Amino acid sequence: MLALYIHIPFCLQKCRYCNFVSFPVNLENQRDSVPESYIDALCCEIGGYFSKNNGYKYNNNIISTIYVGGGTPSLLSAGQLARIIASVKKVFAVADDAEFTLEANPETYAREKFAAYQALGVNRISLGVQSFRPEYLRYLGRVHSREKAAEALRGAREIFDNVSVDLLSNLPGQTLEQSAADLRTALDFQPRHISCYELTVEHDTPLATEQIAQNELGAEMYLQTKKILEDNGYAQYEISNYAQAGYESKHNLAYWSDEPYLGVGLAAHSYDKANQRRYANTSDLAEYSAGKCIRVTETEDGFNKIMMGLRKNSGIPAAYLDARQKAIAQKLISEELLAWQNNNLCATNRGRLILNQILRELM
Ligand code: SF4
């Protein structure tokens, strides 16, 4: 089985905290439209797996999940998405029950378009809401309003059974009450899945140039999030991800569980598990749109699977650790930061609060 990621690197505008490979679309000429030259290059790259397999055996794999991410994939017209799907199906076998996610920005919500996505096979929508408070939406540079987020959520829930909401927490000055209110507003729409990430200020973003006061409530906010979501029937299965039973993201679980994946599109990453190799496509848009995806090969870093696996509540098998790491893990177990559960090594509730520190020790 193989997870397929498709990158659409265009957005209505660049958010102030974003360091993803994404570019604002030219609103005057092509609002709600991704350049056709990009779709051509994407379909060409996908088609390339038919005749040449770049050292992979992808053609023998069945696609178990498709994830169209970005950027803002909901800028795609239904016709563009149909072209991409047709290219995928020409080259790969897609499982009948494949999870098929499309990331959406609330501002791009239109009923007919979302219904068309569903008719094309999309069965999961991931809505990037981030906050329901107008001042934080402005601060983050989000293009949508609280009202548009609510309209998109309501509309998406009417069309799709499986809707996920992304929220950000630990925003500068954000209080516990404000964070709880955002969660409760999201819960009003009964999404199947909620991701709640702490805001991290990345280099080379407008936020990085500002003096931002550290929010001292991070740990408390994290525990509050967990409690509110668990009390409402959402189980934590990864440090920032919660789902109603049976609605965990299969695609993201593939990343966190050391499963192989193929990424197509600008700057997309792939993991060829059989040969223990990771690949990245070029992040030069002109180069990519001209049909040169130019893959860079990186050898597998064994630590990656420890780092990803410990984010999951189900943890990692002991076999991932070498003798030195096992000794460090033993010390962390005695400090009640790690624990054995069903033969897997997991972070405890206390450990999850300082997971980065634990990972630095194990590195
Ligand atoms: S919508 Fe997402 S990908 Fe696009 S700029 Fe904002 S955070 Fe980045």
DSSP 32-76: T---HHHHHHHHHHHHHHHH--TT--GGGSEEEEEEEEES-GGGS
Q: Which residue has the tokens 């990331």?
A: 103
Q: State whether 356 and 219 are in the same domain.
A: no
How many whole angstroms from 8 Cα to the centroid of ligand 1?
11
Q: State whether 206 and 317 are in the same domain.
A: no
Q: Tell me what the mean pLDDT of segment 178-201 comes to.
A: 96
| Contact status, residue 182 vs residue 232, Cβ threshold 8 Å | no
Q: State whether 90 and 194 are in the same domain.
A: yes
Q: State whether 232 and 311 are in the same domain.
A: no
Q: State whether 110 and 6 are in the same domain.
A: yes
Q: Which domain holds residue 106?
A: 2-255
Q: State whether 178 and 327 are in the same domain.
A: no
Q: Please state the atom number of ligand 1 nearest to the C-alpha of residue 11.
A: 4
Q: State whether 220 and 97 are in the same domain.
A: yes
Which pLDDT value is given to residue 53?
52
| Contact status, residue 283 vs residue 295, Cβ threshold 8 Å | no
Whether 296 maps to a domain, the answer reads no
Q: What digits encode the pLDDT tens for the residues 13-39? A: 999 999 899 999 876 655 547 999 999
How many whole angstroms from 166 Cα to the centroid of ligand 1?
12
Q: Among 221, 255, 289, where does a domain finish?
A: 255
Identify residue 62 by its one-letter amino acid code.
I
296-299 and 277-280: which strand pairing? Answer: antiparallel
| Contact status, residue 189 vs residue 153, Cβ threshold 8 Å | yes
Q: State whether 55 and 127 are in the same domain.
A: yes
The proportion of the chain whose per-residue pLDDT surpasses 90, expressed as a percent, equals: 70
**Range from 143-152, 167-176, 196-205 carrying the lowest mean pLDDT:** 196-205
Whether 297 maps to a domain, the answer reads no
Which pLDDT value is given to residue 52?
56
Query: What is the total count of domains within the chain?
Result: 2
How many whole angstroms from 15 Cα to the centroid of ligand 1?
5
Whether 195 maps to a domain, the answer reads yes
How many whole angstroms from 234 Cα to the centroid of ligand 1?
26
pTM of the model as a whole = 0.92
Q: Which residues contact 44 (CB under 8 A, 6 or more apart)?
A: 291
Which pLDDT value is given to residue 58?
60
What mean pLDDT, rounded, does the chain reach?
91
How many whole angstroms from 56 Cα to the centroid of ligand 1?
31
Whether 312 maps to a domain, the answer reads yes
Q: List the beta bridge partners of residue 183.
A: none
Pocket of ligand 1 (CB under 6 A): 11, 14-15, 18, 20, 22, 70-72, 105, 128
Q: Tell me what the mean pLDDT of segment 10-14 comes to.
A: 94
Which pLDDT value is given to residue 59?
53
Q: Please state the atom number of ligand 1 nearest to the C-alpha of residue 130.
A: 7
Smallest CA separation from ligand 1 atom 2, residue: 71
55 confidence band (pLDDT: 50, 70, 90):
very low
Site to probe by mutation for ligand 1, drawn from 15, 74, 108, 166 as the one with most ligand atoms within 8 Å of Cβ, is 15
User: Torsion-angle region of residue 141: left (phi > 0), alpha (psi -120 to 50) or beta?
Assistant: left
Which pLDDT value is given to residue 202?
84
Residue 64 belongs to domain with CATH number: 3.20.20.70
Q: State whether 158 and 231 are in the same domain.
A: yes
